[in-house]
């Protein structure tokens, strides 16, 4: 009797897996979103700035000004140069976001450059897109600083050699694809678990389960196995696609990868069960899982670094399983993270899993009786 793995449990797992796989639409929903997300996310989420349009308001019309414009035209970061003829036009192109920045060359620019006195070039940027504008400002300032001057003596860069470890060319793919595993697994892990019970509740079949010889423990385990399987499947899919299609190296240990993935999934499934224990309808379950998933993703360090958050919010991220898993996947892909460093992240993850699962089981039992 005390055996955990009984024939009843097996039947429950089979039933649950079928419940998910039976409907062709929900079958598609298991595979399609992760793939769409894979391609859209990985191509769209770059904080690089390329191919932007720039306006040039040239009032100098001299050789030095022409030289500057040509250098900007030649830069791969800019796509098109829009000539501007008046102050009003400048305001208009920026307001309408036709360009992100306008370079303003004053009418005495050529005279000053010829006289070798310090000249200035104004750059007006669209602060609505302050992040991109800052990057564009950096590009333009570099080009501007390089023009006009005959390189003088001692034009040193500053005595520094910069090396980027783990991702020498700073490719965004190398950052996004490993992180996506954490994102996609959490979306399906929480949503799938919480919806499956709420659906049975709403359709009334949950009562049938309760009057069957199945024990509460068996129902819970049966509900957790299929989401775990699907999460593992999605994780494995990404593990194969990232190096194969995107050239992201996987340098760490596969064993540690799957171990961490399962612990992470357990934490998520615990959250999903928790949500389903308190929700009576699918709409509530969906909302509950959404309310959990969004902070899990936004507070993980994927959307923006944890260091940028206010201190009190940084403390809150320690309760977020994705925070720990993200460090592990990024480490295992790019850094060949040693086991000791992985375990530093893994034990808090395990603790969170333990807490969410126990809380869910307790709440479930309380609600069933």
Partner 1 sequence: MKQAIDRRRLRALIRKELAQIGRDPSTFLIALFLPLLLMFLFGFAISLDTARTRIAVVVQDSGGAAAGLAPSYSNSPYFEVSEFRAVPPARDLMMADKVRGMVVIPQDFSATVAKGKLPQIQIVTDGSQPNTANFVAAYAEGVMRNWAASEGVGGRVAMPAVQANPRFWYNPALKSRNFLVPGAIAIVMTMIGTLLTALVVAREWERGTMEAMIATPMTMVEFVISKVVPYYFLAMTSMAVCTLLAVTLFQVPFRGSIPALLLVSSAFLMPSLGMGLFISSATKNQFVASQMALLASFLPTFLLSGFVYEIASMPVPIQALTYVVPARYLIPSLQTIFLVGDVWPMFLRDSAIMLGFGLFFFFLSFRVTRRSLDT
Per CB under 8 A, contacts with partner 1 among 40-99 are 40-41, 43-53, 68, 79, 94-97
Burial class (CB in 10 A: 0-12, 13-18, 19+), 236: middle
CA geometry: angle 267, 269, 275, nearest 5 deg: 110
Chain centroid, CA 286 distance in Å: 21
CA dist 280 and 232 (Å) reads 28
Closer of 6 and 167 to partner 1 (Cβ): 167
Closer of 252 and 270 to partner 1 (Cβ): 252
Q: Does 359 bind partner 1 (CB under 8 A)?
A: no
Q: Does 133 bind partner 1 (CB under 8 A)?
A: yes
- Site residues (CB under 8 A) for partner 1, limited to 134-163: 134, 137, 140-141, 144-149, 152-163
Closer of 4 and 153 to partner 1 (Cβ): 153
Closest contact distance (angstroms) between CB of 215 and partner 1 is: 26
Closest contact distance (angstroms) between CB of 195 and partner 1 is: 5
Closer of 29 and 209 to partner 1 (Cβ): 29
CA dist 180 and 93 (Å) reads 37
Task: Name the one range near partner 1 by CB under 8 A: 31-39, 208-216, 253-261, 267-275.
Answer: 31-39
Neighbours of 336 (CB within 10 A): 13
Neighbours of 18 (CB within 10 A): 11
Give Cβ neighbours of residue 257 (< 8 Å, ≥ 6 apart).
239, 250, 328, 329, 332
CA dist 159 and 297 (Å) reads 40
How distant, in Å, are the alpha carbons of 16, 117, 253, 278 from that of 197? 10, 75, 35, 11
Q: Does 266 bind partner 1 (CB under 8 A)?
A: no
With CB under 8 A as the contact rule, the residue among 128, 215, 217, 367 that binds partner 1 is 128
Closer of 258 and 286 to partner 1 (Cβ): 286
* DSSP, res 150: P
With CB under 8 A as the contact rule, the residue among 8, 11, 172, 351 that binds partner 1 is 172
Closer of 113 and 261 to partner 1 (Cβ): 113
CA dist 260 and 349 (Å) reads 8
Run of H or E including 74: helix 63-74
Rounded-to-10 torsion of CA 93, 99, 100, 102: -70
With CB under 8 A as the contact rule, the residue among 331, 352, 353, 364 that binds partner 1 is 331
- Site residues (CB under 8 A) for partner 1, limited to 216-255: none
* Residue 270-309 contact track with partner 1, rule CB under 8 A, x = bound: ---------x-xxxx-xx--xx--xx--xx---xxx-xxx
Q: Does 199 bind partner 1 (CB under 8 A)?
A: yes
Q: Does 212 bind partner 1 (CB under 8 A)?
A: no
Closer of 36 and 368 to partner 1 (Cβ): 36
Closest contact distance (angstroms) between CB of 8 and partner 1 is: 26
Closer of 287 and 351 to partner 1 (Cβ): 287
Give the residue carrying structure tokens 């989401």: 227
- Site residues (CB under 8 A) for partner 1, limited to 98-127: 113, 116, 118-127
Closer of 224 and 330 to partner 1 (Cβ): 330
CA dist 236 and 329 (Å) reads 12
């Amino acid at each position: 009797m005390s055996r955990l793995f009984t024939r009843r449990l097996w039947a429950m797992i089979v039933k649950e897996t079928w419940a998910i796989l039976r409907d062709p639409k929900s079958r598609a929903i298991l595979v399609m979103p992760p793939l769409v997300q894979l391609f859209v996310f990985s191509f769209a989420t770059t904080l690089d700035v390329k191919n932007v349009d720039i306006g040039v308001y040239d009032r100098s019309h001299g050789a030095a000004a022409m030289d500057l414009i040509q250098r900007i035209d030649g830069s791969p970061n800019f796509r098109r140069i829009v000539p501007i003829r008046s102050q009003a036009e400048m305001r208009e192109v920026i307001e309408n976001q036709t360009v992100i920045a306008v370079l303003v060359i004053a009418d005495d620019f050529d005279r000053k450059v010829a006289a070798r006195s310090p000249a200035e070039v104004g750059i007006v940027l669209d602060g609505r897109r302050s992040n991109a504008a800052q990057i564009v400002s950096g590009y333009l300032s570099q080009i501007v600083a390089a023009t006009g001057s005959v390189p003088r003596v001692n034009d040193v860069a500053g005595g520094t050699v910069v090396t980027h470890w783990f991702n020498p060319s700073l490719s965004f793919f190398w950052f996004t694809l490993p992180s996506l595993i954490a994102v996609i697994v959490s979306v399906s892990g929480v949503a799938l678990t919480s919806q499956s019970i709420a659906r049975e509740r709403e359709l009334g079949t949950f009562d049938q389960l309760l009057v069957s010889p199945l024990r509460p423990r068996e129902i819970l385990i049966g509900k957790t196995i299929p989401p775990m399987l699907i999460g593992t499947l999605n994780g494995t899919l990404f593990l194969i696609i990232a190096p194969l299609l995107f050239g992201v190296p996987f340098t760490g240990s596969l064993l540690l990868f799957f171990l961490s993935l399962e612990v992470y999934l357990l934490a998520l499934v615990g959250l999903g069960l928790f949500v389903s224990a308190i929700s009576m309808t699918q709409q509530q379950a969906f909302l509950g899982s959404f309310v959990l998933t969004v902070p899990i993703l936004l507070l993980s360090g994927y959307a923006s670094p944890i260091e940028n958050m206010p201190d009190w919010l940084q403390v809150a991220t320690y309760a977020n399983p994705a925070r720990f898993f993200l460090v592990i996947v990024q480490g295992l892909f790019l850094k060949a993270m040693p086991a000791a460093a992985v375990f530093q992240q893994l034990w808090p993850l395990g603790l969170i899993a333990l807490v969410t699962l126990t809380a869910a089981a307790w709440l479930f039992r309380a609600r069933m009786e």
